[in-house]
Structure 1
Amino acid sequence: MIKPKRLIEMAKKWQKAASAGRKVADKGHFVVYSSDKKRFVVPLTYLASNIFRELFRMSEEEYGLPGDQPITLPCDAFFLEYAILFVGGFVSQDLEKTLLEYVNSVLSSQSSVVQEVNSQQVLRCF
């Protein structure tokens, strides 16, 4: 029979080993993935940005709530790198408005094209 103290030590080692394989964000940051599966570590202060709020809203529409899965934003790595650089610097309201319009128009049209292709594939199945 294993003593409780030894069992606790073993459990701690197993937890460390299990968490070693997971990638964890530093304190004050969160992790998101682009649609092409590239990982980004972003400061929590960026959550106040309208651009990230819109990307999260669109992500929820397209992918649903993540649950145990990582958060995936509906844009490619190039756009997400640009958005992070943009939000990280000084942003005038005009530039932010322009980027938000781009997010809504381009990414929404990409989503509708994917939905259209998916609906055509469904129609071919019948």
Structure 2
Amino acid sequence: MGFHLPGIVNAKQILQRAHVGAESKNVPKGYFSVYVGEIQKKRFVVPISYLKNPAFQTLLSQAEEEFGFDHPMGGLTIPCTEEAFINLSCYLNSP
């Protein structure tokens, strides 16, 4: 008997669709790229371990609602300010 983790499965689906394009070649194994920002999008390369975090999964859900699965920049677009994303990244990287 197995169990289903909808947040992680959904995150994998988003990444599979977002990891298309030339930009994905510059991402080391175990990481993925995201674009963050309100007007000017900035690219961040983050570890896949972020996908386990509920706060990051919330951002992924918001990204899906706002942008769908079509990411023409070659990476996932996150609908938040750069400052908010950096704060979340610092939180996720702290022990």
How does the TM-score come out when normalised to structure 2?
A: 0.65
The structural deviation recorded for 1:70 is 2.2
The structural deviation recorded for 1:71 is 0.9
In structure 2, distance between residues paired with 1:82 and 1:20: 28
Higher alpha-carbon Rg: 1
SS of equivalent to 1:66: coil
1:44 paired residue number:
48
Relative contact order higher in (CA < 8 Å, ≥ 6 apart) = 2
In structure 1, distance between residues paired with 2:31 and 2:23: 19
Q: Which amino acid aligns with 1:79?
A: A
Runs of 4+ in 1 over 4 A off after TM superposition: 19-23
Equivalent of 2:69 in 65, 68, 89: 65
Please identify which structure carries the higher strand content.
Answer: 2
Aligned residue pairs total 72
Identical-pair percentage? 35
TM-align CA RMSD: 2.3
Structure 1: give runs of 5+ residues left out of the alignment: 1-18, 91-126
CA gap 1:23/1:63 in 2 versus in 1, 3 angstroms: same
**Aligned ranges for residues 3-82 of structure 1 at < 5 Å?**
24-35=26-37, 36-66=40-70, 69-82=74-87
In structure 2, distance between residues paired with 1:40 and 1:63: 18
The structural deviation recorded for 1:23 is 5.7
In structure 2, distance between residues paired with 1:71 and 1:46: 13
Q: Contact between 2:71 and 2:77, CA under 8 Å: does it hold in 1? A: no
SS of equivalent to 1:72: strand
How does the TM-score come out when normalised to structure 1?
A: 0.50
